[in-house]
């Protein structure tokens, strides 16, 4: 039985190639793809850096040193006791795999920290969430469908109900930028979103490309593990093996194609040199994306290593100046830390985590656990396999883009800013981007000089999930109006004001002015006659009484004849209800929202 993960895997592959009997009984010359010097660097770096992580104050799990001491004590009682009585290790584990980009040869294979403690090969067998290391495939699918690195996308809070990572409500977390002080930046380019590993922006880009398109591209890139058909897969929530991830990353330096599969055997020969098995027969190229798409993603990953989440490779861990690219990977709740990257010849992926998934510690990002190991291996590989610049496809052209609109730059693309002294200056708002003729925008900038401009790419409403509300309104009871509607003195829609009481009953019609004068005269005569009769019948008391003075009615001005009003039945006043309003583009030209009251018949001036 082999003493390292690489040797054990070689043994398994030889048995699979020639059979158990021949492998055990016949002597063969076995030529492997392992680079011995590079393998030693990987094993030493993994062990050293994970021991450093275990010494950090935030780490509160089992350590390698404590388990190794108990294992040696159990082993002293006999090999059988060490295997039966000793529990499985629970300390922090790690894995590394490195591939030749062209052939798929496995140059480095480390399946764990100690093969004697546990023989489980985590580089080939363990399926773990890749975290944000899966983001490049989302952008590749979007670029295949017409987006390009300069396309604008919205970076804003995202409703977690659309993704459901770590819960089913609230706002999606932003652990991708690997910073404790993350902020939303509004409209940003797809290149910036990938460089900064923005979760919300990535989900929006993935939904624009489509879940099926992303899953299809991942499968074509060599990921055979089942990926869940949900937006959470955009952020690496589905489990993959480290070998699958490394193989998939080879499409970016290769111009869109990958080797058939990783393999560790080069050839098997008899003692006399007769060829028994040839690994070159298994070498077949698989085309995954267009060369332009692969280079666009590569250019973003190169920027991510230079100035994004992987910039510590140069500033902190000492990566040599070389044309390289890569992406950090951090899973939700810091259970897995990864880094996958490449140069023109060599692709390497590193993983750190526990066999039983649990939080390493809060803030255990891929750039802290996996990136320094990757740097050590890439520096060593550059000595044996000097990297070259990855060529840009001829169909990709440089285009000057306005950063404010995402459209073609014009001579007016300047913003006024103030210097430290408060002096206003004009700053150019353009930058150079790569795009194919079909991807590049054709319209000039509409922000500078155009009032009606949108800064962010427009997505369909169904594909653009909004942030969760700060207050859940599902249980709030609406307030019912119990009083009549209040209208202002001015009624622009000529609506009728509602009344609560019925109108008074109509009064009987009045007579004409001539009849009124005749009746007044007759009334005066009747009053005089009644007065004289009363004086005659009154007894004489010797006192003289004067007759009462009766004033005549003062003539009045003629009164205009009132318009007859038909009596109406008494009924409750009608309160008008709102008329349903159609969309403005469906309104009839001869209709208004509320019609005016009809003019009554007759001439009011008569």
Average the pLDDT over each of 351-360, 491-500, 576-585, 589-598 and give the range with the smallest value: 589-598
What is the rounded average pLDDT of the residues 36-48?
Answer: 98
Given the structure tokens 């089992």, which residue do they identify? 62
Confidence of residue 548 (pLDDT cuts 50, 70, 90): low
Is the predicted pLDDT of residue 564 greater than 50, yes or no? Answer: yes
What distance separates the 2 farthest-apart alpha carbons in the chain?
Answer: 180
Predicted confidence (pLDDT) per residue in 251-284, tens digit: 999 999 999 999 999 999 998 889 999 887 667 8
Helices (H), 436-565: 513-537
| Residue whose structure tokens are 């009554």 | 600
With 0.75 as the threshold, say if the pTM is over it. no
Confidence tier at 83 by pLDDT (50, 70, 90): low
pLDDT of residue 420 exceeding 60: yes
How many Å apart are CA 434 and CA 455, to the nearest integer?
20
Q: Give, for 347, the enclosing helix (H) or strand (E).
A: strand 346-353
Question: Residue 422's pLDDT is what?
Answer: 86
Residue 541 pLDDT > 50: no
More confident residue, 280 or 316: 316
Query: Averaged over 98-124, what is the pLDDT?
Result: 97
pLDDT of residue 375: 98
Is 480's pLDDT higher than 50?
A: no
Residues near 481 by Cβ (< 8 Å), separated by ≥ 6?
none
CB 365 within 8 A of CB 178: yes
pLDDT of 357 > 50? The answer is yes
Q: What is the pLDDT of residues 188-242, one digit of tens each?
A: 999 999 999 998 899 999 999 999 999 999 999 999 999 999 898 999 999 999 9
- Mean pLDDT value across the chain: 80
Q: Flag whether pLDDT at 179 surpasses 50.
A: yes
pLDDT recorded at residue 500: 57
Work out the percent of the chain whose per-residue pLDDT is above 70.
68
Q: What is the per-residue pLDDT across 361-401, written as a single tens digit (0 to 9) for each? A: 998 989 999 999 999 999 999 999 999 999 999 999 999 99
77 — pLDDT class (breaks 50, 70, 90): confident
- Report the residue count for the chain: 606
Over residues 338-359, the mean pLDDT reads 97
SS3 430: strand
Query: Could you tell me the residue ranges of all domains in the chain?
Result: 1-393, 397-463
CATH number for 1-393: choose from 3.40.605.10, 3.30.920.30, 3.40.710.10, 3.40.50.720. 3.40.710.10
Q: Band the pLDDT of 164: cuts 50, 70, 90.
A: low
Across the range 411-416, mean pLDDT stands at 92
**Whether the Cβ atoms of residue 134 and residue 148 lie closer than 8 Å to each other:** no
With cut-offs at 50, 70 and 90, classify the pLDDT of residue 481: very low
Q: Are 230 and 164 in contact (CB under 8 A)?
A: yes
What pLDDT does residue 332 have? 83
Confidence band (pLDDT; 50, 70, 90) for 478?
A: very low
Going by pLDDT thresholds of 50, 70 and 90, the confidence category of residue 157 is: confident
Predicted confidence at residue 485, as pLDDT, reads: 45
Of the candidates 339, 273, 451, the one whose C-alpha atom is nearest the C-alpha of residue 45 is: 339
For residue 158, the model assigns a pLDDT of 76
Cα(238)–Cα(271) distance, integer angstroms = 46
- Identify the pLDDT of residue 85: 66
pLDDT for position 463: 47
Res. 312: pLDDT tops 70: yes
Give CA 450 to chain center in angstroms. Answer: 29
User: Is pLDDT above 70 for 155?
Assistant: yes
- Answer for the pair 262, 106: CB distance below 8 angstroms, yes or no: yes
Q: What digits encode the pLDDT tens for the residues 5-25?
A: 999 999 999 999 999 999 888
User: What does the block give as tokens for 51?
Assistant: 């021991």
User: Which of these, 278, 272, 246, lies nearest to 259 by C-alpha position?
Assistant: 246
Could you write out the three-class secondary structure of 277-344? EEHHHHCCCEECCCHHHHHHHHHHHHHHHHHCCCCHHHHCCCCCCCCCEEEEEECHHHCEEEEEEECC
What is the predicted pLDDT for the residue at 279? 82
pLDDT at 283: 72
Helix (H) or strand (E) holding 82, with range, is helix 79-84
Residue 482 — very low, low, confident or very high, per pLDDT cuts 50/70/90?
Answer: very low
Q: Is the alpha carbon torsion for 146, 149, 153, 156 positive or negative?
A: positive
pLDDT for residue 26: 81
pLDDT at 3: 84
Stretch (H or E) spanning 263 = none
Beta strands in 82-198 (DSSP E): 93-100, 106-110, 128-129, 152-155, 186-189
Statement: residue 87 has pLDDT above 80: yes
């Amino acid at each position: 039985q082999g003493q390292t993960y690489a040797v054990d895997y070689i043994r398994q592959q030889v048995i699979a190639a020639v059979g158990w009997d021949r492998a055990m009984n016949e002597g063969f010359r076995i030529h492997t793809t392992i680079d011995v010097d590079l393998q030693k660097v990987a094993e030493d770096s993994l062990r050293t850096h994970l021991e450093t992580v275990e010494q950090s104050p935030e780490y509160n799990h089992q350590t390698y040193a404590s388990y190794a001491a108990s294992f040696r004590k159990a082993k002293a009682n006999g090999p059988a006791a060490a295997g039966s009585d000793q529990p499985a290790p629970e300390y922090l584990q790690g894995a590394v795999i490195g591939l030749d980009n062209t052939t798929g040869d496995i140059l480095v294979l480390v399946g764990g920290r100690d093969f004697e403690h546990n023989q489980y090969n985590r580089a080939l067998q363990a399926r773990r969430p890749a975290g944000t290391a899966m983001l490049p495939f989302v952008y590749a699918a979007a670029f295949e469908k017409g987006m390009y690195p300069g396309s604008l996308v919205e970076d804003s809070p995202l409703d977690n109900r659309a993704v459901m990572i770590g819960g089913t409500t609230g706002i999606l977390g932003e652990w991708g930028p690997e910073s404790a002080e993350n902020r939303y930046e509004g409209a940003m380019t797809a290149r910036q979103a990938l460089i900064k590993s923005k979760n919300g922006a990535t989900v929006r880009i993935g939904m624009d490309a489509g879940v099926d398109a992303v899953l299809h591209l991942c499968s074509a890139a060599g990921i055979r593990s089942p990926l869940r058909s949900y937006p959470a897969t955009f952020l690496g929530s589905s489990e993959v093996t480290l070998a699958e991830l490394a193989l998939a990353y080879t499409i970016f330096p290769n111009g869109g194609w990958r080797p058939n599969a990783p393999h560790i055997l080069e050839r098997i020969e008899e003692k006399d040199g007769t060829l028994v098995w040839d690994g070159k027969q298994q070498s077949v190229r698989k085309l995954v994306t267009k060369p332009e798409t692969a280079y666009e993603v590569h250019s973003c990953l190169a920027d991510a290593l230079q100035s994004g989440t992987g910039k510590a490779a140069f500033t902190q861990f000492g990566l040599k100046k070389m044309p390289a690219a890569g992406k950090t990977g951090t899973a939700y709740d810091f259970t897995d830390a990864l880094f996958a990257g490449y140069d023109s010849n060599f692709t390497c992926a590193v993983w750190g985590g526990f066999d039983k998934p649990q939080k390493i510690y809060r803030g255990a990002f891929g750039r802290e656990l996996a990136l320094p190991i990757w740097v050590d291996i890439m520096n060593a590989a550059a000595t044996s396999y000097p990297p070259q610049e990855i060529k840009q496809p001829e169909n990709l052209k440089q285009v000057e883009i306005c950063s404010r609109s995402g459209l073609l730059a014009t001579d007016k693309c300047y913003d006024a800013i103030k210097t430290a002294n408060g002096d206003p200056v004009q700053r150019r708002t353009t930058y150079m981007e790569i795009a194919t003729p079909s991807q590049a925008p054709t319209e000039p900038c509409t922000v500078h000089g155009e009032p009606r401009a949108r800064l962010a790419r427009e997505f369909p409403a169904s594909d653009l999930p909004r942030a969760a509300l700060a207050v859940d309104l599902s249980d709030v009871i609406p307030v019912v109006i119990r009083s009549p509607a209040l209208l202002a003195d001015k009624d622009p829609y000529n609506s009728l004001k509602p009344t609560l009481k019925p109108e008074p009953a109509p009064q009987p019609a009045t007579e004409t002015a001539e009849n009124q004068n005749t009746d007044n005269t007759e009334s005066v005569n009747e009053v005089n006659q009644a007065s004289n009769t009363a004086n005659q019948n009154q007894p004489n008391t010797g006192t003289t009484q004067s007759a009462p003075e009766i004033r005549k009615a003062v003539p009045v001005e003629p009164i205009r004849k009132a318009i007859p009003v038909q009596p109406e039945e008494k009924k409750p006043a009608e309160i008008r209800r709102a008329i349903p309003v159609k969309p403005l583009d469906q309104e009839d030209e001869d209709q208004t929202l509320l019609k005016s009251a009809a003019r009554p018949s007759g001439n009011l001036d008569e």
